[in-house]
Structure formats: structure tokens, C-alpha cells
Amino acid sequence: MKSPDWIDDLASRRAFRWFEGAVWFKKAAMTRSGFYARLAISVVIDLMDFTVGRIPILGTAEDGIGGIVLTALWGRAGLAYFWELFDITDQIDGFIPTATLIGLYVGWREGHLFGGRGRDMRRVEEPPTIP
């Protein structure tokens, strides 16, 4: 049985107000320097995974925390880092720089790498400056 329309309308408004206030819901355009700062954080996460991540219990904790941080940094693409939780030995996943690969993928997609526009066509070009 379908609920009345006014209940669906009320529920969707309440959920939208909750999402509207969340910081992670508001997507701002990433600058090139912001991209490189995020990429540096991703490289640090990979280095930590390669060194400290080899210790069995600490490695699993680092994989979980790293996945949360990368999801906050890169959005949905950061969810790919959670595959490292499936390596229960914490020996193999340290040799694959997943966090850096995620950062490079997002940089390529949004056009921060190689000076191109990238695949994200929603980006607005800045008007040329007058000398």
C-alpha cells in the first residue's frame, strides 16, 4: 500500500533539510592547489600504509581510517580504498598505492592533470583577463 502524498512530501523535505546543512553535501569547485594538497595527503596515507600498515592490527585500523579520510577528500571515488580492508594479512595491500591512484583519477577526471579540461563538463571556464 502506498503512503499518502503529503507524507512522502514531508519526509523528503525533512531529509533534504538535513542534507542541505551537511558540509559534505555542498560541492565546491576544487582549485589546482587544493588538488595538489589533497594528493599530498593521499601520498602520505599510502606511505603510512606501506610502513605502519604492515603491522596486522594497526594496518586494519589504518585502512579503515584512511578510507574515511579519502572519502572525505575525494568523494565517492574514495570509497574504492575500502577494498584494502579485505586483505586481513595487511601484507599485500601496502604495495598498491590505492590512495594515490584515487587522487590521480579524480585529478584526471576534473582536468587538474596535464592541463586539460578533463571529463567533468560541468566546470565553468573563467573569463580571460584583460592585460
Give the per-residue pLDDT at 28.
67
Residue 114 φ/ψ region, left for φ over 0, alpha for ψ in the -120 to 50 degree band, beta for the rest: left
Regarding predicted confidence, which is higher, 6 or 53?
A: 53
Decide if 39 contacts 49 (C-beta within 8 A). no
pLDDT tops 50 at residue 65: yes
Give the per-residue pLDDT at 25.
46
- 104-131 residue pLDDT tens: 999 998 888 876 655 545 555 666 777 7
Give the per-residue pLDDT at 8.
52
pTM higher than 0.85: no
Give the per-residue pLDDT at 50.
93
127, 66, 119, 113: which is closest to 93 by C-alpha?
66
H helical segments located in the chain: 5-21, 32-51, 56-74, 98-110
pLDDT tops 80 at residue 56: yes
Domain ranges of the chain: 29-110
